[in-house]
Structure 1
Amino acid sequence: MRVRRLTDQEEQKLQQVVRRGSTSSMRYRRAMMLLASAGQHRVPVIARLVQADEDPVREATSG
């Protein structure tokens, strides 16, 4: 399962969250998940990237 294609504006906003970090670790991790999913990475790869179980990754990237 993957997210829809991101608009340039959406992608830039998510990249800002990742680059600058965030006061919320959940916001940071979700931004990482969405960017990775939009980049065509599969759930197991994204889960390893953000050091999470696969179920929360599926939930975050399902829309």
Structure 2
Amino acid sequence: MAEPVRVRRLTDHEGQKLEQIVRRGSTSSVRYRRAMMLLASAGGNRVPVIAKVVRADEDTVRDTIHRFDEIGLACLDPRWAGGRPRLLSPDDEDFVVQTATTRPTKLGQPFTRWSIRKLAA
């Protein structure tokens, strides 16, 4: 049987920082939940118990513990993906905003209001 996953021994600074995050609760929900997972693991709780307490998947708890062991408190910050690349350059965006805020009749168009289709054309 595999060894249970447990967080490494916390330094004083790490323990204080985690407790501060959990006590205040004013941080993001992701940081709060991850801090709860790490403190619970440091307190001797096993992964299934921690997963039930923080209402997370057991794999998420294990991943958080492993990342903490690798990089420390930096694991508390979420790593959001960048998403789809922008289709408009900043110059194109400025042009669209400038056009949309100008009356169509001033630009020689035969209508009085912009629509999305008219702007796209």
Alpha carbon RMSD of aligned pairs, Å? 0.9
Higher relative contact order (CA 8 A, sep 6+): 1
Asked whether the equivalents of residues 18 and 39 of structure 2 are also in contact (C-alpha less than 8 Å), the reply is yes
Cα distance in 2 for partners of 1:21, 1:52 equals 18
Match of 1:46 in 2: 50
* Percent of matched pairs sharing the same residue: 73
Show CA shifts across 1:5-36 (max 9, x none): 10122111100000001331000000000101
Q: 1:2 aligns to what?
A: 6
Which one has the largest radius of gyration? 2
- With normalisation by structure 1, the TM-score equals 0.92
- In the TM superposition, structure 1's runs of 4+ consecutive aligned residues that sit over 4 Å from their partners are none
CA distance in 2: counterparts of 1:51 and 1:45, whole angstroms = 10
Q: Which range moved further: 16-25 or 28-37?
A: 16-25
Quick one: distance in 2 between partners of 1:9 and 1:45? 25
Q: Normalising by the residue count of structure 2, what TM-score does the alignment of the two structures yield?
A: 0.50
The structure carrying a bigger helix percent of its residues is 1
| 1:11 counterpart = 2:19 | no
Q: Gaps spanning 5+ residues in structure 2: where? A: 70-121
Structure 1 residues without counterparts, runs of 5 or longer: none
